[in-house]
Structure 1
């Protein structure tokens, strides 16, 4: 049956041959574009190639900005200084302040306005609102406001000076504004990445705590209910074995008693595994990795370790590491600039951990939290038979104390 000439509301149908040809042509064009993306344009996505292309485009723009406005009888020194300003743009990434200083003379006595704006923008991106940025802004403003030669500048009226002042503010302020936006975007990206890592860590800690609690509940149920029932079966099989002197009943009683005894032993082994929390989640960091954690925590830390035994239970070592990790994360998040004091001591059959931080020394952005960090630490300590408490300090800081038994 042919569909040619068939009209259906909302659907346009032509001849099958023409549609197939169109599809073939579209597929061929898509294949050509895909090959171009993979072959010709793929190197353009590399960072080095992209940087080189950007530098070439910027150099071309600043050269054209000078070359297109140079008058026929321009003084040679103004042309040389404008060329030096164009060359300074190439050095703006490694030496932003020196590049800006080198570009300013070409703007004052020449025509290198775009070169001065670009070097000022790079300086503001690197230094933000530091004193070097303010110096650069003042120099660029002066170069735009003052006209060279000076005798022509003194002959201008107040209206021209007023307009030049307005334009100078825009010329000096626009690169700084763009640089501040770039800096704010980078800071927000870093904060979001830090927040994502913190939330992932809190979710993993909370999930570990829930799994440990579920294992403990299963162990209690298996010990209190299943183990009790199997013990009763073994006792009943023993009584039946004592009553049945011979025959099939005696063999059946022996089999039941042997199976129930073996099942009880396996059940007790399983309960022991559940209570110990052993699982194949991979290696966990312990107290031996605290040095690396402190070096990468971006928080000033004073560490004191006393009377540690040669070996620690794996659960206690992991719990100590997680406690310090969570506390340092909270100090970095909620008390920027504060010093954290960590005291670890083994005494009276337990491992005592105390983390205390001062009040924040600088203002930081408030980041939302998942709220599971300290809660998970408290649940972990409770499951290990220890204790966990938090309190404020007199100087406005925060203190966390945890104790984990060593007889695990």
Structure 2
């Protein structure tokens, strides 16, 4: 739409210049040639404004066709900010404007009025062109200022985020890491001092789980301290190839039924791994002594991972929980278009089912 309006405006200006030249030029071939050259030159004024302005001066001198010269002078003023160039072009335009009326007395008042009128006529397109040029530059400056302010706002937001992440990382390192380290140390001491084989195996398992937790905690602290930099991915990210090691190190009796379909991308593998990991964590917390089953199933459209556990066989310890783990699993599944369903079983156990579209 803007392009069509510009073309329409160009056509209107050239038509006005052609009408002015036709009305002022005599039928003689010389004046008509100058008029045609002046009007035709306007077609190239956006590419060569100064040469086009020069080509319009003969028609102004010979016949007084002023519109073509004014259009060309406006283009020069709109394109350039050099005062010397604009001054020379203005003087040339004013002088050429005076030539058709040079038959009056040099000492008369008509000459003074003619000079004033010629000066104002030449100055008007120069001032208008400079005004439009300045307005365009100010618009560009405002755009640059807005971009700079937006960049500063992003930097401020990133700085606040980095501060909050560093504070959280310090809290995790100072509090959680300290507590888990104490668990690992006490488990190691129990492993050495006890003579009960079952207690020794439990201490070994607790120590291994504590070490794995510290390792993941270290990766999480590094992630938080990255503060949005490109290296925010935990490295390495778990995949289904690590699932067997997860089951072996879970500290509970676990059975694996079926296998995951091949060719799944990394986000799906990571989601399945984290779901099984959270489910086994919940079994340890809420069903000690229970047996867990991880079952894979697949149909034409979905892959399903179901983690079930039998009722607890040992007393359950009351541990703090805000159910953030299940909420996180539901969010992970939703990002891939899947769902997470949890429900108690009739035998007193529990079931967690993850369904992801293939």
Give the structure-2-normalised TM-score: 0.55
2:57 aligned with 1:107, yes or no?
no
Q: How far has the Cα of 1:77 moved from its partner?
A: 3.2
Alignment of 1:369-384 (within 5 A): none
Give, in whole Å, the separation in 2 of the partners of 1:98 and 1:280: 53
2:98 aligned with 1:145, yes or no?
yes
Q: How far has the Cα of 1:176 moved from its partner?
A: 0.3
Provide the secondary structure at the position in 2 that maps to 1:153: coil
Counterpart in the other structure of 2:30: 77
Give, in whole Å, the separation in 1 of the partners of 2:97 and 2:226: 75
How many residues align? The count is: 233
Instruction: Tell which structure's C-alpha radius of gyration is larger.
Output: 2
Q: How far has the Cα of 1:74 moved from its partner?
A: 6.1
Give, in whole Å, the separation in 1 of the partners of 2:36 and 2:30: 10
Alignment counterpart, residue 148 of structure 2, candidates 193, 198, 219? 198
Unaligned runs of 5+ in 2: 233-358
CA distance 1:279–1:173, change in 2 (3 Å): closer
Alignment counterpart, residue 20 of structure 2, candidates 40, 53, 65? 65
Give, in whole Å, the separation in 1 of the partners of 2:117 and 2:231: 64
- 1:268-299 Cα offsets, whole Å, 9 max, x none, are 333344456685479xxxxxxxxxxxxxxxxx
2:124 aligned with 1:174, yes or no?
yes
Report if aligned partners of 2:90, 2:122 keep a CA contact under 8 Å in 1. Answer: yes
* Superposition CA RMSD, Å: 3.4
Alignment counterpart, residue 69 of structure 2, candidates 110, 116, 119? 116
Report if aligned partners of 2:105, 2:111 keep a CA contact under 8 Å in 1. Answer: no
CA distance 1:185–1:126, change in 2 (3 Å): same
Q: How far has the Cα of 1:233 moved from its partner?
A: 2.5
Counterpart in the other structure of 1:225: 175
CA distance 1:191–1:255, change in 2 (3 Å): same
Counterpart in the other structure of 2:80: 127
Give, in whole Å, the separation in 2 of the partners of 1:64 and 1:134: 28
Provide the secondary structure at the position in 2 that maps to 1:94: coil
Counterpart in the other structure of 1:187: 137
Is the deviation greater in 176-185 or in 234-243?
A: 234-243
Provide the secondary structure at the position in 2 that maps to 1:128: coil
CA distance 1:249–1:179, change in 2 (3 Å): same
Counterpart in the other structure of 1:164: 114
Q: How far has the Cα of 1:177 moved from its partner?
A: 0.7
Give, in whole Å, the separation in 2 of the partners of 1:272 and 1:79: 81
Counterpart in the other structure of 1:87: 40
Give, in whole Å, the separation in 2 of the partners of 1:206 and 1:241: 51
Alignment of 1:6-405 (within 5 A): 44-45=1-2, 47=3, 51-69=6-24, 76-148=29-101, 150=102, 152-154=103-105, 157-158=108-109, 160-239=110-189, 245-246=195-196, 253=203, 255-275=205-225, 279-280=229-230
Unaligned runs of 5+ in 1: 1-43, 283-408
Give, in whole Å, the separation in 2 of the partners of 1:214 and 1:187: 41
Provide the secondary structure at the position in 1 that maps to 2:82: coil
